[in-house]
């Protein structure tokens, strides 16, 4: 619905466009300018940035910053690490979340209600309560300082299990029964009937898992010491600490960190926004 | 459990539940039931098979989720009664950590900073979010573009935001001071100024967090039943009355969610602080999670950090109890505030006004 009523025929229009644009356009500019500045400063030369007052518009495109972070720093390595961790987390959340969600939705077994309730309750546990012992657990497992320490805790989240369960419950049972009659196993029913119908829920899980694992800084900061195992977020943060004066390189690194999420968002905007609002309204 | 040898079907929920709650008579009678052929164990075997499959399906999730939550929660509680440096064996110290926490001026400062930040961030982000959502909730051109621009900062990591704003707000090389200079305003310290650092952090969080509120509220506004709006309009409600009596009340549940969500995220803010100020200058931006991290992983007093974490968890738990309390109170004092009742009451009001 919209609260804007059609303008009465008699009212004269002072502007060729809705007056709301006068409010919205400057406000949106405030949101856009810092990101624009990120892009601009990443292609500026250090000389332009380091004079006072600094230039607000680049005189030409200078890719020294990018050359530096790709050649001298370990950004390509960190990019690969981030990609490995995020994609593994997405894949395993989809697989394990589907299996768990399906069992909780369609199969009854002793203790299922209790287990589901327990898993849901863990969603309310704040991360800082578990971060110190999780570090100790990972240390016992010998995973600290390896990508494994980043992957294991994000293999599956209660959110993925619960969201998929809710979605599976909303599907008509009859389709599954038909496959069941044809002698399909549970796994077959899940893989051939249920999952192909669950694209919206699966994409929500994929988007939110990717977003949270790619963007996380806290846990990599705790679990990783050696710079070959850094993720992009951790690498960028450390790089900034060490190169305080090379702002164009820092901003080039920042662009590299932000770009995958930004591109994913721009291409799949609808999915992103639906994922976030739906999880918000139900969570 | 079906008595008749029925063809294979998906076990119905109802019959399974009865199987679970009354297993004994079922197992005892199963084979002896008159219309079941003797020696036929198929349903029972299938049930057992089904249970095994179900467990195989949930086992990985249960192991990861419960293993990395229940175990750490208990471990954390134990840690909070110990002196632990993450390396050597820990020593039991009873309530010493909590006692020390109560007297620690740094913890006190961290709690105060976090509360100030939260009490400003939550209402401001939701307030701005509501205004922007109301402005965007109309059929004009470019709305999609505006929404995208407002929402984009939300998908950017706190680390990237922090690095970007460290640069923009850099007292010497930053664009912010360059712009202020054009207007003849003297350079500011921003994140380096103890008096401005927390406000600067707040501004960065609002830049990135408002978009979330806008998108959630916009979705909720579009869900307001058009019939309600139409009815109120036919009764002569103006735009403001429509907003006050129809639109805003129907946002209730979403508002509760947003309040909780924003409060929880701002009480747990860490990444942005770590990247921009590291808790400084002079501890002016040390927030609770930063305090916990510093104690556990920088000063290697993990037991002390765990005690602080438990204190924060308790605060969050209390916070989560608030909406339930509010609902209970509302049900007690205004039991008929359903949308329909509200619309009816509205119509009465409008009628009386005319």
- Exposed / middle / buried, residue B21 (Cβ in 10 Å: 0-12, 13-18, 19+): exposed
Whether the CB of B80 is below 8 Å from some CB of chain A: the reply is: no
What are the CA-CA distances from residue B241 to residues B255, B337, B347 (Å)? 19, 17, 11
Characterize A201-238 residue by residue with b for buried, 16 or more Cβ atoms within 10 angstroms of its Cβ, and e for exposed.
bbbbbbbbbbbebbbbbbbbbbbbeeeebbbbbbbbbb
* A179 and A234, same domain (yes or no): yes
Is there a domain that residue A3 lies in?
no
Q: How many distinct structural domains can be found in chain A?
A: 2
Distance CA A50, CA A45 (A): 9
Q: Are residues A127 and A53 in the same domain?
A: no
Q: Averaged over B245-251, what is the pLDDT?
A: 87
Of the pLDDT bands very low, low, confident and very high (cuts 50, 70, 90), residue B202 is very high
Question: What is the DSSP secondary-structure string of A72-83?
Answer: TSSHHHHHHHHH
- The reply to whether B142 touches chain A by the CB within 8 Å rule is yes
Beta-carbon separation of A132 and B320 below 8 A: no
- Report the greatest alpha carbon distance in chain A: 77
Q: How far is CA A251 from CA A39, A41, A119, A258, B38, in A?
A: 8, 7, 40, 10, 77
Res B189 pLDDT > 50: yes
CA distance A67 to chain B (A): 19
- Residue A13 counted as domain residue: no
> Which of A158, A247, A276 faces B173 most closely, judged by CB atoms?
A247
Residue B229, chain A, CB below 8 Å: the answer is yes
Contacts across the A-B interface (CB distance below 8 Å): 321
> Does the pLDDT at position B143 exceed 90?
no
Task: Measure the CA–CA gap between B328 and B241, rounded to whole angstroms.
Answer: 28
Is residue A117 domain-shared with residue A32, that is, in the same domain?
no
Between chains, do B7 and A181 touch, taking CB under 8 Å as contact? yes
Helix/strand/coil percentages in chain A, nearest 5? 75, 0, 25
User: B91 by DSSP, 3-state: which?
Assistant: strand
- The CA distances from residue B169 to A20, A37, A221, B178, in Å, are 31, 12, 24, 10
* Alpha-carbon span B200 to B162, nearest angstrom: 11
Same domain, A259 and A128: yes
The shortest C-alpha distance from A168 to chain B (Å) reads 14
Of A52, A128, A234, the CB nearest to B309: A128
Task: Residue A219: name the closest of A112, A135, A275 by CA.
Answer: A135
Return the pLDDT at B344: 54
Spatial distance between the Cα atoms of A21 and A13, rounded to a whole number of angstroms: 14
Q: Chain B interface, mutation test: which of A8, A20, A31, A106, most B Cβ atoms within 10 Å?
A: A31
CATH ID of B101-353, from 1.20.1630.10, 3.30.70.60, 1.10.3720.10, 1.10.10.10: 1.10.3720.10
Distance CA B72, CA A117 (A): 18
Interface contact flag, B289 A128, Cβ < 8 Å: yes
pLDDT above 70 covers a percentage of chain B that reads 81
Helix axis angle for A20-42 and B105-136, nearest 10°, is 130
The reply to whether A44 and A149 lie within a common domain is: no
Could you say which residues of chain A have pLDDT below 50?
A: 1-10, 282-283
CA distance B60 to B353: 63
Give me the residue spans of the domains in chain B.
Answer: 13-49, 101-353
Interface test with A, best of B26, B107, B159 (most A CBs within 10 A): B159
Q: Report how far apart, in Å, the C-alpha atoms of B42 and of each of A108, A138, A185, B1, B5 are.
A: 17, 44, 16, 11, 9
Question: Predicted ipTM?
Answer: 0.89
> Which residues in chain B have their CB less than 8 angstroms from residue A153's CB?
64, 68
Yes or no, beta carbons of B160 and A136 under 8 Å apart: no
The residue among B319, B257, B266 whose CA lies nearest residue B289 is B266
Q: Of B250 and A152, which is predicted with more confidence?
A: A152
**Three-state SS at B146:** helix
* Predicted pLDDT of residue A283: 40
Average pLDDT of chain B, as a whole number: 80
Domain boundary among A62, A88, A116: A62
Residue B55 dihedral angles phi and psi, to the nearest 5°:
-65, -40
| Domain membership of residue A226 as a residue range | 73-282
Helices A75-106 and A232-242, axial angle in degrees (round to 10): 150
CATH code for position A81: 1.10.3720.10
Q: Is residue A90 a part of any domain in this protein?
A: yes
Tokens of A183: 């002698």
Question: Is position A174 within any domain?
Answer: yes
Residue A210 included in any domain = yes
Do A135 and A177 fall within a single domain?
Answer: yes
Q: Are residues A128 and A233 in the same domain?
A: yes
Put simply, the chain B residues between 266 and 305 with a CB less than 8 A from any chain A CB are 268, 270-271, 274-275, 288-289, 292-293, 296-297, 302, 305
Rounded mean pLDDT of B41-58?
A: 79
Amino acid A270: pLDDT? 85
Distance from CA of A211 to the nearest CA of B (A): 7
């Amino acid at each position: 619905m919209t609260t804007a009523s059609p303008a009465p025929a008699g009212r004269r229009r002072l502007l060729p466009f809705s007056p709301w644009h006068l409010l919205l356009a400057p406000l949106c500019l405030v949101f856009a300018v810092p990101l624009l500045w990120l892009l601009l400063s990443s292609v500026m030369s250090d000389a332009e940035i380091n004079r006072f007052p600094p230039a607000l518009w680049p005189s030409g495109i200078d890719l020294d910053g990018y050359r530096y972070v790709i050649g001298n720093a370990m950004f390509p390595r960190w990019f690969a690490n981030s990609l490995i961790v995020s994609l593994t987390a997405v894949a395993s959340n989809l697989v394990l979340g589907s299996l768990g969600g399906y069992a909780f939705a369609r199969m009854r077994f002793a203790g299922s209600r209790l287990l589901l309730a327990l898993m849901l309750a863990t969603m309310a546990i704040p991360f800082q309560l578990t971060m110190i012992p999780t570090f100790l657990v990972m240390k016992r497992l010998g995973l600290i300082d390896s990508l494994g320490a980043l992957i294991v805790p994000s293999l599956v989240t209660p959110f993925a299990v619960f969201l998929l369960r809710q979605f599976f419950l909303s599907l008509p049972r009859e389709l599954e029964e038909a496959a069941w009659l044809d002698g399909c196993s549970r796994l077959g029913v899940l893989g051939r009937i249920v999952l192909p119908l669950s694209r919206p829920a699966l994409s929500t899980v994929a988007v939110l898992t990717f977003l949270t694992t790619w963007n996380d800084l806290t846990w990599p900061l705790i679990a990783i010491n050696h710079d070959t195992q850094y993720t992009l977020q951790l690498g960028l943060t450390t790089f900034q600490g060490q190169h305080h004066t090379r702002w164009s390189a820092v901003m080039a690194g920042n662009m590299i960190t932000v770009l995958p999420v930004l591109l994913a968002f721009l291409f799949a905007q609808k999915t992103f926004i639906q994922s976030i609002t739906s999880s918000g309204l139900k969570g | 459990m079906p008595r008749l040898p029925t063809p294979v079907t998906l076990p119905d929920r109802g019959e399974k539940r009865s199987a679970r709650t009354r297993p004994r008579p079922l197992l005892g009678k199963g084979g002896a039931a008159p219309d079941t052929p003797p020696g036929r164990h198929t349903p029972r075997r299938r049930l057992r098979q089904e249970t095994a499959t179900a467990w195989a399906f949930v086992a990985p999730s249960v192991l990861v989720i419960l293993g990395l939550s229940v175990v750490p929660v208990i471990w954390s509680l134990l840690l909070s009664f110990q002196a632990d440096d993450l390396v050597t064996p820990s020593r039991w110290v009873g309530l010493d950590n909590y006692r020390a926490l109560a007297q620690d001026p740094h913890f006190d400062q961290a709690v105060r900073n976090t509360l100030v930040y939260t009490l400003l961030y939550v209402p401001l982000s939701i307030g701005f979010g509501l205004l922007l959502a109301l402005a965007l909730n109309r059929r004009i051109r470019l709305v999609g573009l505006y929404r995208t621009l407002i929402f984009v900062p939300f998908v950017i990591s706190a680390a990237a935001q922090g690095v970007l704003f460290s640069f923009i707000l850099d007292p010497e090389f930053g664009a912010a001071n360059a712009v202020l200079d054009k207007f003849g305003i003297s350079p500011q310290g921003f994140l380096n100024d103890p008096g401005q650092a927390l406000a600067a952090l707040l501004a960065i969080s609002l830049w990135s967090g408002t978009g979330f509120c806008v998108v959630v509220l916009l979705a909720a506004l579009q869900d307001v039943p058009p019939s309600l709006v139409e009815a109120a309009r036919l009764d002569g409600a103006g735009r403001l009355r429509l907003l006050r009596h129809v639109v805003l009340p129907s946002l209730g549940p979403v508002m509760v969610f947003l309040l909780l969500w924003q409060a929880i995220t701002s009480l747990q803010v860490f990444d942005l602080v770590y990247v921009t100020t590291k808790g400084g200058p002079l501890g002016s931006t040390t927030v609770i999670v930063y305090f916990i991290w510093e104690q556990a992983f920088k000063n290697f007093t993990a037991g002390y950090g765990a005690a602080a974490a438990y204190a924060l968890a308790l605060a969050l738990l209390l916070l989560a109890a608030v909406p339930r309390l509010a609902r209970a109170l509302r049900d007690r004092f205004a039991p008929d505030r359903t949308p329909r009742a509200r619309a009816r009451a509205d119509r009465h009001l409008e009628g009386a006004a005319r």
